[in-house]
Structure 1
Amino acid sequence: MAFESDVIRHLSFEMLQSVPHTAQYMAQGGTSALSDELNHDITKLKSFRTALDEKLTTLSRLSRTNALHRELEAIRLLSVQVQRNLEQTAAEVKELQKQNKPLSLTLIQRTTQDRTISEIRRHGEVLANLYNEKAQKLDALKKEQYSARLLGMGIWMAGLVLGWVVGLSFAWRTADRILKPLLQLDELMLNPDKNIATTLQSPSFSKAPREIISLSGSFYKLVTESLSLTAQLKDLAHTDALTALGNRRRFDEVFSQEWKRGLRSRQPLSLLLLDVDHFKLYNDSYGHVEGDLCLEKVADAIKSKVLRSTDLVCRIGGEEFAILLPETGLTEACRLAQVIINALDSACIDHESSPVASWVTASIGVASGIPQQGTSQRQLMEKADQALYHRKRNLGRHGVTAADPWPSSL
C-alpha cells in the first residue's frame, strides 16, 4: 500500500504537469510560436500516458480500489482525447502559418474552452483525494500492526515470567498453553503467507488463554482482509471497468502464456483485432455517455459469439478489441470474425453519422500461425494489425481481412 500511495502521488504530479494550458498561449492570438507550444503539450501528454501504463502494471499487485482504477482509466482515455484535439488544432495552426493568416476566433474559443481539459483536471483532483485516503489507511494499518506486535510480545514475556514463577512443575503446561501458541503467532506475524487458518485451529490455540485466542482472532481477521483486498485489486487491474472484459494488461499476460504453450504443443494460435468503424464520429454525434453505452453493446455482441472458455476477449484501447483463440487455425478464426461482424449488424446500434452504414459496424484483422522458435507474439500482433489497417484503408471497412498464412510470411 505504501508503494501504491507513492505511485499515485507521482502520477498526480506528472498528470498536472502534463495538462495543457492552451488558454495562456492561444489567447495571445499569434501563430509564430504556437505550433511549438502545441507540439510540446502533445509530447508531454504522450510521456504521461507512457508513465501511466508502466506504473499501472506495478499497482496491480498492491491494491484493489475500484475508484482508483476508474479514475486512472478515465484519465488515460481523456488524455487520448485531449491529445487528438491538440493534434487537430496543431494541424489547423500549421495551415494558417503556411497561408500567413491570423488565428480565427472560432479556433481560439474551441481550443481554450476544451471541456476535456477541464474534465481531466477534475479527475486529477479526485486522484489526489484518493492518494490522501490511501495515505490515511496506510498509517492506520501500520498502527494496528504495531499494536498487535507489541501485544503479542507482551503476552509472550508475561508467559515467560509466569513460567519462572510457577516453577518447573508447571513448565510443560505453561509452554503448551501459552508459549507455544505465542511463538506460533509471532512466526505467523513474521510470515503471514503461511496457512494461518490451519495453525490457529490447532489444539495448542484451542487450549490457549482467552487473551491469546482473542489476539489470534484479531490477527486472523486483519490478514484475511488484507489478502482479500490484494486479490480484488489483482482482478480489477486485469479488468476493463467499462465493458467488464479483460484489459490490455490481461491481454498481454495471457498472450504471452498462450504463445509459450503453443511453442510446446505446436498448436496454432489465432488473433482477431477489432476496431469500431468511425467511433470518433459516433462520440461527436451522440456524446461520450452514449459512446460508452455503444462500447458496452459491442462488447456484449462479441462475448455472445466467443463461447469457448479457453478464448479471451479484451478491450485493449478506446474502441479497439482483441480476441485470442488458442488451438484455432486461420479458417476457423476468419469464420468467427465474420460471425462477430454479423452479430454487430444484427444489433443495429444507430450510427447516422457513419459513412459506412446507418448502424455501428466494425473492421477485423485476423492473423494465425503456429508459434516457432525465432518468431514472437509481437509478430503475430503486427500481422493482425496490418490486416486491420488494410481493411480500413483499402477495402472500405465493415468486414474481415486475414493476414498471410504463417510461418512462411515471417
Structure 2
Amino acid sequence: MPRTFASLRLRFLLALGGVLCLALLALVLVARYQIMPILLEDEEQFAGSELDRAERAIGSELGHMRRVVEDWAWWDDTYQFVLGERPEYVDSNLYQSTLETLDLKMMIFFDAQHRPVWVAGFDEDGEFTSCNGSKTPCHWVVSYIDAMQSKLERQSDETQTWLLASPDMAMASMSGIYRSHETSPSAGSLLMVRPLSTSWIEQLRDTTGIELDVNSVSNSNADANDNLRRVSSTRMAASRTLDAMPDDHLIRVDALLPRQRYQASLETFRFALYWTSGVLIVTLLIVLWLLESIVLAPIRQLSRFTQRVHLEAAPPPMPAHLLARRDEIGTLAQEFRDLVDHHYQQSSLLLELSQHDSLTGLANRRLFDQRLEQALHSAQASGHQVSALMIDIDHFKLYNDYYGHLAGDDCLIALAECMQQHLGGKRILAARTGGEEFSVLMPDTSLQAAMLQAESLRLAIEARALPHATSPTAPHLTVSIGVASCHPTGLDDAVSLMQAADQALYRAKESGRNRVATIPGHRHATTTAPSQ
C-alpha cells in the first residue's frame, strides 16, 4: 500500500467521503422516484379541492338566482300580468333600477306556449329597453331565446338554473308562474339572466380567496377532466369545465394557485439533505482531530437534544456547556438552537394565522370547522347537545357602499369585540366565516340556552347604536341570527347543523331582520323580534 494511503486519517476520510456520496445518491434517488411523485400528487389534490370550492361558490350564486326568480314568479301580480289582466304591472315593477338592484341582464316573461309576453333588460349597448315581446327595440333578445330554446321546450314544474356560455356568459334561472297562496296551473314562465361580468368575477375571487377567471369555450376544444399546468416553481394553473347552454359550449373556470405546500415540502427535504451532509462532514473532522472525551460525548448530547426536539411540544433547553464552547461544536449547537427557536416561532405564528381572521382576530372557518367536529364527537360520548349560531349583518353591502370599506372593516372589528365580550365562555368559539357572516359554536348548550345567548348578543349589538343611515331595517346597525342545535342521538352532523343554522338565519331575514330565529320543526322553533 502506498505511504499516502497508509494514513488512517486519510483512509477514514476517503471511507466517510464514499459513504457521504452513497448517502447523497440514495437521497437523490429517493427524492426522484418516491418523494417527488407524492408531492406532485398532493399538489394535484390541492388544485382539485380549490376548483371544488370555486364550483361550490358558483353553485351558491345559482341558488340565489333560484330564490330571486321564485320570489317574482310565485306572485299574484305576475300571474295576472302574464294573463293580460294587470297592464299597470310594467310601470309599477319593470323599470331600470329594478334590474340594476337585482344585478340582472334581462327579465323575460313567457306565456304558457313559451312565447315572450314582455322583455325588460339591457341591450348590447347597455341601453335599458322594456317592450312587448321580442320585437323592436327588444329584438336583441332573440339570440338569447334561441340559445335557451331547448330549456324552454323542456320547462318543468321545478325551477331551473344553469350557466349560459353564449352569446354572453351569464347565469340563468327560469320558474313557472303561479299564484302566491293557492294552487293554480302555470300561466307561463319567468326567465332571469344575470351576466358573469368582471365585477361579479372579482367578487367571486374575494369570496373564495382564489385568483380565478371564468371563460366561455367551445365544447369541441374543452377537456372533460380537470387540467393542471405548472407555470413556474411558485405558481400553477388549474382549470375545470362546467356544463352550460347552448349544448355546444362550456364554461371554463381557470384558477392560478400557489405552490406553497410543494415548495415547503421540497425545502424541508433539501434542509434534511443539507443537514445530513453537514453532520457527516463535521463528524469526519471531529473523529480526525478530537478525542473521544472532547468530541464524541458532545455529539451524543447534541443527538439526544435533536431527538427531544422531535418528541417534545416545546423546544427543550440546549445544554449550557455546548453553547459555551467556541469551537465547531459550540457554533453548531448555537445555530441549531436558534434554528429550533425560529422554527417554533414560525410554526406558532403560522398556526395562529391559519386559524384566525386577520381583521377581527376571531377564529376563521378552518378552526371553526375543526372545533365543530371535535364538539360533535364529544357530544356523542357525553350525550349533551351542541348548538350553533349563524350571524349576518343586516344590509352590510349598503353600509359599505355608503360609509366605505374602511368603515366596514371598523364595523366588523366592533362586532367582533362585542361578541368576545358577550360570548366569553371558555368553550364558546366565535368565528368569522364569511364577509359579514359570523358563526358561534356552543358545546354542551341546549337550543333554549343558545336562543337566550343569541338574543342577548343581538341586543348588545343593537345597544352599541352604530349608525347605518341606509339600512331599511333600523337607523343603526343590526344583525340577524339563526340558531340550530343537534343531539348525539340523532343523525345530525357538522354539515346538517350548519345548514339548519343557515336556514334559521334565512328565516330571520325573511321575518324582517334584526331578530333571532330557528327553523320550523327544529327543537321548538321560534323567532324573537326586537321590541317596538
Contact 1:152/1:215 (8 A) holds in 2: no
Q: Who is 1:25 aligned against?
A: none
Q: Kindly indicate whether residue 123 of structure 2 is the aligned counterpart of residue 102 of structure 1.
A: yes
CA contact (8 A) 1:349 1:359 kept: yes
- Give 1:6 shift: 9.4
2:360 corresponding residue in structure 1: 243
- 2:344 match: secondary structure: helix
Return the match for 2:281 from 154, 176, 184.
154
**Match runs of 1:46-195 below 5 Å:** 46-47=54-55, 89=103, 91-93=104-106, 98-99=119-120, 102-105=123-126, 114=199, 117=202, 149-162=276-289, 174-185=291-302, 192-194=309-311
Which of 193, 197, 201 lines up with 2:319 in the alignment?
Answer: 201
Q: Which amino acid aligns with 2:493?
A: S
- CA distance in 2 between counterparts of 1:269 and 1:45 reads 27
* 1:398 equivalent in alignment to 2:406: no
The answer to whether the aligner puts 1:348 opposite 2:465 as a matched pair is yes
Alignment of 1:308-319 (within 5 A): 308-319=425-436
Amino acid at match of 1:155: V
- Contact 1:152 / 1:182 at 8 angstroms: preserved in 2? no
Q: What residue identity is the alignment partner of 1:92?
A: K
Contact persistence 2:376–2:488 (CA under 8 A): yes
Residues 45, 280 of structure 1: alpha-carbon distance in 2 compared, 3 angstrom cutoff: farther
Deviation at 1:284, TM superposition (A): 2.1
Q: Deviations over 1:135-172 (max 9, x none)?
A: 99999998877665544322311232246xxxxxxxxx
Question: 370, 379, 383: which is aligned to 2:496?
Answer: 379
Partner secondary structure for residue 441 of structure 2: strand
Which one-letter code corresponds to 2:288 in the other structure?
V
Corresponding residue SS for 1:241 = coil
Task: State the structure with more CA Rg.
Answer: 2
Rounded to whole Å, the distance in 1 between the matches of 2:496 and 2:52 is 29
Counterpart amino acid of 1:228? Q
Once the two structures are overlaid, the 10-residue window that deviates more, 111-120 or 284-293, is: 111-120
In structure 2, what is the Cα distance between the partners aligned to 1:268 and 1:245? 23
| Contact residue 323 and residue 331 of structure 2 kept, 8 A | no
Find the partner of 2:419 among 274, 298, 302. 302
Structure 1 residues 370 and 124 mapped into 2: Cα distance closer, same or farther (>3 Å)?
closer
TM-score (ref. length: structure 1): 0.64
Q: 2:492 is paired with a residue of what secondary structure?
A: coil
Aligned 8 A contact 2:315 2:340 in 1: no
Change (3 A) 1:202 1:234: same
Alignment match, 2:402 = 285
Query: Which SS does the other structure have where 2:105 is aligned?
Result: helix
Q: In the TM superposition, what is the alpha-carbon distance from 1:47 to its structure 2 partner?
A: 3.5
Residue of structure 1 equivalent to 2:68: none
Between 1:346-355 and 1:148-157, the stretch displaced more is: 148-157
Q: How many residues align?
A: 330
Q: Provide Cα deviations, 1:39-84, integer angstroms capped at 9, x if missing partner.
A: xxxx99934969xxxxxxxxxxxxxxxxxxxxxxxxxxxxxxxxxx
Whether the 8 Å CA contact 2:356–2:362 is kept in 1: the answer is yes
Q: 2:420·2:430 contact (CA, 8 Å) conserved in 1?
A: yes
Task: Give the conservation status (yes or no) of the 8 Å contact 2:484–2:497.
Answer: yes
User: Contact 2:396/2:436 (CA < 8 Å) preserved in 1?
Assistant: yes
User: Take 2:384 and 2:518, find their aligned partners in 1: how far apart are those partners?
Assistant: 19
Distance in 2 between residues matched to 1:156 and 1:115, nearest whole Å: 61
TM value normalised by structure 2: 0.51
Higher relative contact order (CA 8 A, sep 6+): 1
Farther-moved stretch of structure 1 (260-269 vs 175-184): 175-184
Q: Give yes or no for contact 2:390–2:483 (8 Å, CA) kept in 1.
A: yes
Q: Distance in 1 between matches of 2:487 and 2:429?
A: 18
Quick one: structure 1 residues 131 and 254, their matched pair in 2 at CA, closer, same or farther if it must change by over 3 Å? Answer: closer
Asked whether the 8 Å contact 1:93–1:103 carries over to 2, the reply is no
SS, match of residue 330 in structure 2: helix
**Residue 112 and residue 251 in structure 1: after superposition, are their counterparts in 2 closer, same or farther (change >3 A)?**
closer
CA contact (8 A) 2:385 2:443 kept: yes
> Using the alignment, how far apart are the partners of 1:247 and 1:226 within structure 2?
23
2:441 maps to amino acid: L
Which AA in structure 2 matches 1:401? A
Alpha-carbon deviations, 1:260-303, whole Å to 9, x = none?
11111112221111111111222222222222221112222222
User: Normalized per residue, which structure has more helix?
Assistant: 1
Q: Is the 8 A contact 1:148 1:219 kept in 2?
A: no
Q: Secondary structure at the match of 2:310?
A: coil
- In structure 2, what is the equivalent of residue 79 of structure 1? none
Residue in structure 2 matched with residue 227 of structure 1 by the alignment = 344
Correspondence for 1:210: 327
Q: Is the 8 A contact 1:370 1:407 kept in 2?
A: no
What one-letter code is carried by the residue in structure 2 that aligns with 1:400?
V
Shift of 1:332: 1.7
Any conservation in 1 of the 2:323–2:334 contact (CA below 8 Å)? no
Question: Which residue identity lines up with residue 123 of structure 2 in the other structure?
Answer: P
What CA deviation, in whole Å up to 9, does each residue of 1:327-356 have, x standing for no partner?
222222111111111111111111111111
Q: Give the unaligned 5+ runs of structure 1.
A: 19-42, 51-84, 164-173
Q: In the TM superposition, what are the counterparts of 1:309-348 in structure 2 within 5 Å? A: 309-348=426-465
Change (3 A) 1:144 1:322: closer
Aligned counterpart, 1:68: none
- Alignment RMSD: 4.7
Q: Indicate the SS of the match to 1:271.
A: strand
Distance in 2 (alpha carbons) for counterparts of 1:367 and 1:140: 45
Matched-pair identity in %: 25
CA contact (8 A) 2:390 2:505 kept: yes
What whole-Å deviation, never above 9, does each CA across 1:233-271 have from its counterpart, x for those lacking one?
111111011111011111101111111111111122211
Unaligned runs of 5+ in 2: 1-34, 59-98, 110-115, 129-167, 169-194, 213-233, 236-256, 526-532
**1:273 is the counterpart of 2:390:** yes
